[in-house]
Structure 1
Amino acid sequence: MSRISAVPALLALTAIALVAIALALSAGSVAIDPASVLRALFASGDSTQQAIVRELRLPRAVAAFAAGGCLSLAGALLQVLLRNSLADPYVLGVSGGAAAGALTTMLLGAAAWLVPVGAFGGAMASTAIVFGLARGRGPWSPTRLLLTGVVVAAGWGAVVALILSLAPEAQLRGMLFWLIGDLSAPPAAWSTLGALVLAVAAALPFAGTTAGAIGFVGLIVPHAVRLVLGNDQRVLLPAAALAGGTLLLVADILARQIAAPAQLPTGVITALIGVPTFLYLLRREQR
């Protein structure tokens, strides 16, 4: 299969992202036409539409796009780090550590602004544990790192289950929505390796505390972009960020529309999209 030229592909992804953002601002329980959306963005026109667009839909659209871009970028960086095109931010337990940190903060009843701090601390702790155990007294290998990450991720899963079992009923629903993934309340050389690890550990808590534990975006998007555009990281990374942001934004639109006026967790939609897409990509790679 011939590769698509980088510049047209990036321009096309940017255009698609802008269309998705416009659709996110227009679609919902209350449909607003594009002209009214523009007026609302510039604080003119109907006051109700201004409130809907500026206070509800715009922050949610920005959060969805940014979180999707971070998840996809983290996935792309991990795939480079592990030299495995099917690697995922969840594989190394980074996301599990972020989830455990965030849920612990919620369980302790800390202020909402401390949840991202807890998630970041959990992600960094998980990263340090995985790389420390994988390296041991000798050099690490991608396979050893991957296996260590799987074990640590399983351990974080047990910690999350323990936290959920201890959580009072009043906090449990919010924790479960966070774990499923929801956007209804948005807010080489060792030096190179360190930069990659830090970028992944920083991206995952931001995405997690904004959107919860949303799966598959960091797995399928970088892999699909690599199949189309090739392995040039100068093209792959921005393309993956654009595509990941757009995918999560579209998933959030569907989550708001399918059962309107009720809203589905965004993570449910990404899973429904991600599972068949991943199976297709896996089958395609085997050919």
Structure 2
Amino acid sequence: MTTVMTRGPRPLPAGPGATRRRPPLVIGAGALFIVLLALLGPMAAPHSPTAQLGAPFQQPGGEFLLGTDVLGRDVASRVLGGGRTIVLIATAATTVAGVLGVLAGVLAAMVSRRLGDFVVRVIDALAVLPALLLVLVLAAGFPGSVAAVVVAVALATTPFSTRVLRAAAKTVLSSGYVEVSVARGDSKWAVLRHDVLPNLAGPALMDTALRLVASLHLTATAGFLGLGRGGAAPDWGRMVSENAPGASLAIAPFLVPALLLVLLSVCVGLLAGRLADMVGRGTA
């Protein structure tokens, strides 16, 4: 008589986030560092970011930690002062687009189908226009205006938020607990306040994170094209375009702002993807 030894069941992981908890923390720390660098950097700048202090494209070292740019300005000071505008414009545009998306999406979901389709078609008229063209037209019409860039970026991203949040709101409205609320005579305002909006928080947060990535790209592109604040003001996107022709003479003025833009977009994008996974598991 032989005894057959069988292997016991494999131990289950501690939880769905056990193997994924560390990477989001690292990514979040990276994104937070770059955001803090952008917001607080101007206070740590060793020189004026607009003053011409040396010869163009000096190599890093001595008084200039990262060298000088195409006009002899301190690159380190311009890097420290050039991210605040991008982060603030992208955040403001995302906030405006999020509010408009929630309002239009919920309105289109709660009214009659014909009226809801009309609202979506009106919003979709903005989506027909290329986002970059919209930014160019508004920024060129109001030269030097940061508000124009904010409005342009917000209008370029609002149609997508509206469609996503309308679909999410229609799903909530078709759920059983909303039908019970309507059956017992609750007003539309009560249904909206107590049933729809609380259950839209997750999808709205996920959509906001995704739109922030798009807003960062459009804002950096606007800076690269010289739109928004005046030409002397530091801007990571503008620094890339200004110093690209002299990259063979000094790489830091071109490479450092480009790397910061890439790292910020990648970190925010990965966090948005992680947030989408969490919301998807929560609603599954």
Normalised by the length of structure 2, the TM-score is 0.31
Normalised by the length of structure 1, the TM-score is 0.31
**Which is helix-richer, 1 or 2?**
1
Higher RCO (C-alpha under 8 Å, 6+ residues apart): 1
Greater C-alpha Rg: 2
